[in-house]
Every structure is written in structure tokens, then in C-alpha cells.
Structure 1
């Protein structure tokens, strides 16, 4: 099944293809198990806000203790660092369980957690390279790959439910992993379009415009998803002047009716 998913290239942000590929993904850290197609709902859990607050506090504490351990002038010990990291692990597991139970917002937040951890590992990896420690750097690269898989799993679950922010976050993550030298995959284009649709459905035109600008920077000018996003954003508006390109510094100004 996984090979089939690789062949189709995750060509849609919603629908049976993505659902099939999500079930085929391996279970990664923070995951309680595979999710059946169609089990993710959009309604957030009332437990989620307190979990996110606890996670943010534990993350700040862990980062503080890491800095203290590297300084002789800071009174700290490894035990406090381990306690903070354990709290962070337990909370992320609880958020993952909410996601597996059908909470799309929890799935989105769990994906963001992994993106944060990826960034932390990447910074440490750069430091290890500077210190010429290839063994530790290789270990950090493996951790980054694991967190990337976790982020894609949970952002994908939220995107399957039509979560606009998850669609945008996953599109940006996949595009960054592909690099600027290669053309974006069809999934990236579909995820950006998913985000534009979602933000417009929430009457959040400004964020939809920001997403459209990101699309334009990431996709080929003749991409059909870009054409459709433009149609969704501007088809109901009458231009007041010559057709012009939307610029990042002017697109969000009130009253602007510029078209690409």
C-alpha cells in the first residue's frame, strides 16, 4: 500500500487518496496507532487548550535548563531538564491521543509540535557540525527525519478534515523539504489550494491572500491550482483599474483590488 501511495504522489489534500496514504503511514513517536479513513472531525476538544499551555510551559523550562547546563554561571542540574522533557513528552502524547480520537485541531497542534522539535534539532545539528562531532550530528539528522514523519502524519490528518492552517503548514513543510531547486509536488499545490478554500470558508480573506502569495512563490505560474485560487479570491470582484500583480506589501491593504 505504501508503494501505491508513493506512486500517486499524494495528489489530493482531501479524499480517498490521502485517506489511503494516511492509513499506510508508519506509526511514529507520539502516535497511538493507525487512523481509519474518515475518523477525523473538525470539532476541538475542551481539554486541548490546557494541554497546549502545559506543553508551552514545559518547552520553555526545557530550553532554559539546556542553556543553564551549558553555562557555569547558571545553577541547574540534569534532573530538572529531564523532568521538563518528560512533561513535554507526556503532554504531546495526550495531544496525539486526542488527534487519534478525531480532533482535527489537536492533530494540527501535534504536527506543529513536531515542527518545533525539528527546528530545535536542526539548530543543535548545526552547532554539532561546527564542533566537528559527526556522530552526534548524524543522530540529530535521524531525529529530524522522525519528527518530520510525525509532523506530516498529524498535519495530514488535520488537512484531511479540511483544516486550513494544517493544509498551509504542511504545504510549507513539504516545499521546504523539497528545496528550491525542484518543482513542487502535486500535493503541495493541492494543500495550498485546500488552505485558500478553508480560509475563505472562514471569511478570513487576509490569510487566504497571504496563502495565495505563498502559492505564487512556490508554484509554476501556469499551475491550475494557482489559477483556481485566483478565481476563488477575485472572481466576485470588479477590477477598478488595469490588471496588476498582487505584491506582498500591498495585497493586504484594505480596498485593494489588484489581480496577478
Structure 2
């Protein structure tokens, strides 16, 4: 089986800017990569880095160039899908050498790794926060599911097919989760769905398959289900995830926060 490092919601900005006028996401990304480079021996061998959207916050070419350079320091294959803050063409240009990036159209792709097929789905609807799976995306997924030679399938997208209870995030969720469930219903191998967007760890199901969302590298949303809950973010906790694929695999969240230890017990 394959082991993936899942990074999500980098929200990188152009030089001199801050995301939402608060977050220095360039510095946050560089710090996260530094920390991960120091942890690779502990995490274990990785097959690829899976980036589940919102690479950029402002869609600028400079933000993508910076993100590409920082991610390149991990010296691993990069698999990238767009999020609602991304611009397809700018993302495509920056990651053109990251197979299997399509040269035009939607950023949907299929990558085969040891014992596992990874399918990246484009949910971006430019100009709005919510996401949608187009007919051609669902067709590609259906073909990938039917034709997979592996025991495991990982489906990666930005907008998760679940509801968190955070009203302002659920309002910009995935429009057609049912269509995704229908595509995956006939899968004969184990399916794992991973996403970002909600800046936190949530677990659910789409049809009969598990869904997990990764923490963001830059900020978090508090779990507040009150009608009058404030709309906004917190500066932490920040993190990422490691995915060991397959029926016996495990999805593990990693918090990128300062802490002392380990202490003997």
C-alpha cells in the first residue's frame, strides 16, 4: 500500500500581503515544511504529497510560485487538486511538472501508486465558495473506479461530502455529494475519501465509504453550531495528515504546534 502526506488549505498570498489581513501564510508554509522535513524519519517512507486545495488565497502567480518552491523542498511527487480560492490556470502553470496535471480543462487526474489508485477531483466553481462535481469529473471517477487494478482507491477533493455543523462552512460545501456516493457505490475495492476546506478534522461517510478532512496549514474554524456563531477563523491549531492506504490502513492527523516532550511515563 502507499503512504501519502496530505497537506491542505495553504492559502499562500503574494509577497508583502497577509491572508484576511492577519495570516502570514508564506511564513506559515515555510515553517510547516521545515517542521515536516525534521519529522520525515519518524513519519516513515512517503510515496507522494497530496495537496487538497486552496494552495493560494489570492490566485496570484507569485503565491503559486512560492508554494511550488516550498513544497518542492519535500522532494516527493506532488498530487494537487484545486480549492475554491484557487485559479485553475495559475495553479496549472505552477504545477505543470507535477504529474498527472492535465494540460487544459478541469484539474481531474488519476495516479497509480504501489497497491493504490489516487483520483483527484476538481470541485472548483470559480467565483463562489461552494463546490460542485461536473458530469465529466464524475465520468472520470466512474471509469477510474471500474478500471482500478488495486486493492485500494483514494478519492481526493477540496470540498468534503459531509456536513460539519459549522453553518457558514456548510453553506459553501459540496453541492452534489449524492452524485459522488452514486459513483462510488459499485466499487469492488476499498475506497477512502479525503478532503480539506473545513480547516479541521472531521470524519463521516459518503455512501458506505469513510471520509476524512485534514487540518489546514494556516488556521482553523471552531466547532460552533449555534445559529448566532461568529463567522471567522482562529490562528490554530494547524496541521496536516498522513494516509496509509488500504483496508487496513489508517488516516492520522498531525498537529504542527509547539510542544515539549517526549516525557517518560
Q: TM-score range by the shorter chain?
A: under 0.3
Structure with the largest fraction of helix: 1
Q: Which has the larger radius of gyration?
A: 1
Relative to the length of structure 1, the TM-score reads: 0.26
Structure with the largest fraction of strand: 2
